[in-house]
Amino acid sequence: MIHNRLNLYRTERGLSRKELAERVDVNPQTIGFLERGDYNPSVELALRLARVFEVPVEALFSLDPFPSLASQLATVAAPAPVPAVGPHSVPGLLGHLLNPAPAS
């Protein structure tokens, strides 16, 4: 089975099935069949679709299921850990304010 993200890219660009079909010279029903996974595109059609969306073919089609968008957004939204300079210290200016040098 070939998995795809055609519906995602099409709706993101504000295209109807008919408009996308016209751009790649197929019947609008073909776009619906592709989006539902009822039909696998030819190499030529896959390349034309990728050209319309200006993405690599692999961004549209995959042999493996795509990860859910929610899981991808959670990964992107997760803050990166702040590296510690020493035990119980905060780096940078904030560290200087929170961990002042001992008085001599």
- Name the packing angle between helices 28-36 and 17-24 (round to 10°): 110
Number of neighbouring beta carbons within 10 Å of residue 64: 8
For 12, the enclosing helix (H) or strand (E) is helix 6-12
Write the DSSP assignment of 33-100 as a string of letters: HHHHTSSPPPHHHHHHHHHHHTS-HHHHEESSPPPPHHHHHHHHHSPPPPPPSSTT---HHHHHHHSP
pLDDT for 69: 79
Helix (H, G, I), strand (E, B) or coil at 4: strand
Q: What is the pLDDT of residues 43-101, one digit of tens each?
A: 999 999 999 999 999 999 999 998 887 887 887 776 666 555 554 544 444 444 445 55
- pLDDT of 104 above 90: no
pLDDT for 74: 83
Average pLDDT for residues 17-30, to the nearest whole number?
98
Q: Which two tokens stand for residue 5?
A: 């993200």
Rounded to an integer, what distance in angstroms lies between the CA atom of residue 104 and that of residue 43?
Answer: 73
